[in-house]
Amino acid sequence: MSQLESFFIICPPELTDELELELEEVWPFLEDESGRPQLTPLIKQKTLGGIFLETRPLIGFQLNRVLKLASRILWRRARFKARELFQLEGQLKSLPWTEWIPEGKKVKFSISASGSKVNNEKRIEDMLQRLLGKRLKVMKDHEDFHFYLRHHENQMTVSLDTSGEHLHKRGRVQFKLQAPLRETLASAALRWMLNDVSSSELNRITWLDPMAGSGTHGAELLDHRGLGTREDYAFNSFKEMPKIFRSPEFWKNHVLAKGIPFRNLVLADQSADAVNVMKKNFESCQERNIILLQKDLFSIDSRDDYGISRNEALYIVLNPPYGERLELSDPRKEILKMREQIWQKLQPQRLGLWVPASLGNLNFPEKLLQKRELRNGGIPVHFYVWEREV
């Protein structure tokens, strides 16, 4: 397994630059078969919506547990030109499917075709069923192996999914409320809030999410620059699965196992249901300084209501539940009311805030550090970071 293979790391298009930075940050800390930091150079090419990478399978698989901004990681197994249907059929038939897929495993194909003479996806799907149906269990869902076939401008690329479930499903937040913030976006928010913060400052910061919902921001903070808790990845079924990955000690002792330090993490919500959900999600994190509270942001008088002292460096991040807690009749007015409550009563060093893009630009008196335009579940949103002037 010493040869280099091609991988494609998929991410939301708006996070491509951030994914590249994250990959460069974690690269020196990825580990080889002996449990030591790997020393191979980073060979990459960025494109909108992802990064092509040349590396060993051990590293490509490992990135599933390490990267927080990635959506999925594909392993390119074949690439060839095929203009005519008979050329495409011959090339697909010659691929070593039974070497890639152990006997008895189920396989699924996702096919896209454009700009090619053969651009009928159903025709390609029927061809695969005819070629492989007798040797493999071709399924519509519940697959063990998921192949992505892309036929573009008469070039066919066959890639194997190494991730399984979407990578925003980390494993920590098992219980969710309606319309949660996707974990990849929560992780990006933390990166933007910590953009210029030194490592020595991190463990002096207390974090507060006063409208925490199911606790997504908090979960991402626990696993930021760490491995996370999820273990069920598609590569677990591969013949090329490194034996060392099956050892709990490898992951337990991994240099990235601990994540980012912080002083305290306070997660609050005015809903008792939300607090109960967070208790379930964080019941295994008793060793960390995590405080879960039922509090209404609009009813608090000071930091004391959250158990936060005046001398603590406080970072606040929140994704208000629009339509539930904030009135839709005049959301900008409610935002200004919330801003006044946060800056006057809590006096944070920094505030990170998610808002619907439909609100337009928000101009607060505080110093604007970041403004990002993204989509959360298809809905256009803005994320702002402001800093209190000293």
- In this predicted model, what pLDDT tens digit does every residue of 2-51 receive, in sequence order? 689 999 999 999 999 999 999 999 999 898 888 888 888 899 999 999 99
pLDDT at 253: 81
**CATH number of the 5-161 domain:** 3.30.2130.30
How many CB atoms sit inside 10 A of residue 201's CB? 11
Rounded to the nearest 5 degrees, what angle is found at the Cα of 158, between the Cα atoms of 156 and 161?
Answer: 150
Count the neighbouring beta carbons within 10 Å of the beta carbon of residue 200: 7
Looking at residue 362, its pLDDT comes to 92
55, 94, 123, 137, 159 from 148: Cα distances, Å: 20, 17, 15, 16, 5
What is the distance between the alpha carbons of residues 142 and 165, in angstroms, rounded to a whole number?
11
The sheet carrying 155-161 orders its strands as: 43-47, 50-55, 5-10, 72-81, 155-161, 145-152, 106-114, 137-138
pTM, full prediction: 0.91
Q: Which residue is it, tokens 């319309």?
A: 179
CA 345 – CA 160 distance, rounded (Å): 52
Spans in the chain with pLDDT lower than 50: 1, 324-325
Please give the pLDDT value at position 330.
77
Q: Which pLDDT does position 119 carry in this prediction?
A: 86
> Where along the chain do its domains lie?
5-161, 183-225+260-387
Q: What integer pLDDT is reported at residue 169 of this predicted model?
A: 82
Looking at residue 332, its pLDDT comes to: 82
- Quick one: pLDDT at residue 44? 94
Are the C-beta atoms of residues 117 and 83 closer than 8 Å to each other? Answer: yes
Q: What is the dihedral of CA 103, 109, 113, 117, to 10 degrees?
A: 40
Per-residue pLDDT reduced to its tens digit, 132-150:
877 667 666 667 899 999 9
pLDDT at 223: 81
Of 222, 260, 239, 235, nearest to 59 by C-alpha is: 235
Q: What is the pLDDT of residue 377?
A: 80
Please state which CATH number belongs to domain 183-225+260-387. Answer: 3.40.50.150
Q: Please say whether the beta carbons of 146 and 108 come within 8 A.
A: yes
